[in-house]
Amino acid sequence: MNDLRFQELNTIKEDTGISLYLSITPSIGKKEVLNITKKIIDVIKDGVKEGDKEIFEKSKENLFNHLEGLRVKGKSLFIFSSPKNTYEFFYEFPFRNEIYFGKPNLYQFYWAQIEYKDFGVVNFTEEKFSFYKISFFKEKLIFEEEPKVDTSTWRRKHIMPPSAPKSGVSIGAAGGGDLKDAYEEKYLYYIEKYLSDFKEKVIKDSDDLKVIFVNSDAEENIDMFLNIPPPSQKFIKLNAPSNATINEIIELGIRKIEEINKNEEKETLKILFDRAATSNLAGVGLSSTLKVLQDGRVNKLIISENLNKFVYECKSCGYIYQERESCPSCNSKGQELKNIRFHIYDLSKKYKSELFILHGNEAKELDLNDGIGALWRY
């Protein structure tokens, strides 16, 4: 996350307090935020250990004091509140409503980096060629160019020289064409040159992007851009209404990317189930997946967004396992109960597996197998 204040939060990892995630709408008032928080704080109240009760109460008091003065200014909110510190962050991408007591729980930020990958938008208007990057639903203009030819001609079906009389008198020219042909040829040459330079710059600056949507108020402009070399799989046509604002174009991009992601989820789940059914380097279920993962054999770790299971972490070697008396790796009896939901991101990083998150119906299908499975390397 390139949010400076988020980095600040990273520096107080050892602090203990309440982490609160809320999805909100700009129309929601402070009162509603308070009401939701009061409701969900009850969920964790009973789980707080005796020795932590004082820290919890003080964190809670600070949290509600903070909410009293809250000014809603985004689509989602994250607050971390401890007896000493309270941090508030608004974002434009949604969170799951959730509350947690302990060390700052940043797991939703890590999941969000997987769920909301940055994408690009190339947009052509009469005056400008623009390239935006959209990160967590917030756009940033990367560069913009004003072509030195009059692109208003470009959007007319039949290109006419600016000086051509309306009656359309043609004057013969060498090579058999007329003035109109000569103009069109020269005009296209310049347009293509500008587009091709622009395209190369976009490609050069988009290593971090999976998809770049290409939009213009005239479809033939999009085609022209796509057909100009070099070809790239990253570019996808986006047909926003001709008078759409950049925000509407981005909204449309977000919906398109959701479609792309949904298809990828369906495909991934099918591969997982097909391969697991034939024991072809894949498996589902918590116990076996944890084992294969910690053997370093998992290529793609696939989880449901609803993943919510308790596991033990060995206090001496850090091995994660399901309920049993001693650690299967080192036989030590010291263990700590943890929810795998909050640790799966770190585990996937540790064992160099790609974490993939399923949503909606696909998530529910995997929930029948503990909400977890994996494609193996070997």
Query: Which residues here bind Zn ion, judged by CB under 5 A?
Result: 314, 317, 319, 327, 329-330, 332
Q: Based on CB atoms, which residue is closest to Zn ion, 231 or 328?
A: 328
How many angstroms separate the CA atoms of 335 and 321, rounded?
A: 10
To the nearest 10°, report the CA torsion of 313, 315, 316, 320: 0
Cα within 13 Å of Cα(43), Cβ side: 14
Closer residue to Zn ion (CB): 173 or 317 = 317
Tokens of 164: 């051509």
What does the DSSP assignment read for 223-271?
A: HHHHHSSSP-TTEEE----TT--HHHHHHHHHHHHHHHHHHHHHHHHHH
Cβ 294 to Zn ion shortest distance, Å: 11
Minimum CB distance to Zn ion, residue 327 (Å): 3
State the nearest-atom distance from the C-beta of 325 to Zn ion, in Å.
12
Comparison of 232 and 331: residue with beta carbon closer to Zn ion: 331
Residue type, 123: N
Q: Do 194 and 129 contact (CB within 8 A), yes or no? A: yes
The length of the chain, given as a count of residues: 378
- At position 313, the amino acid (one-letter code) is E
Choice between 227 and 332, CB closer to Zn ion: 332
CB of 326 to Zn ion, least distance (A): 8
Give the residue with the Cβ less far from Zn ion, 115 or 313.
313
Question: Is the separation of the CB atoms in 139 and 250 below 8 Å?
Answer: yes
Secondary structure element (H or E) that encloses residue 50, with its range:
none
DSSP state of 154: T
**Dist. CA 48–CA 343, nearest whole Å:** 19
Q: How far is the CB of 97 from Zn ion (least distance, A)?
A: 35
If the CB atoms of residues 143 and 310 are measured against Zn ion, the closer one turns out to be: 310
The whole-angstrom separation of Cα 291 and Cα 271 is 20
239 or 329, CB closer to Zn ion?
Answer: 329
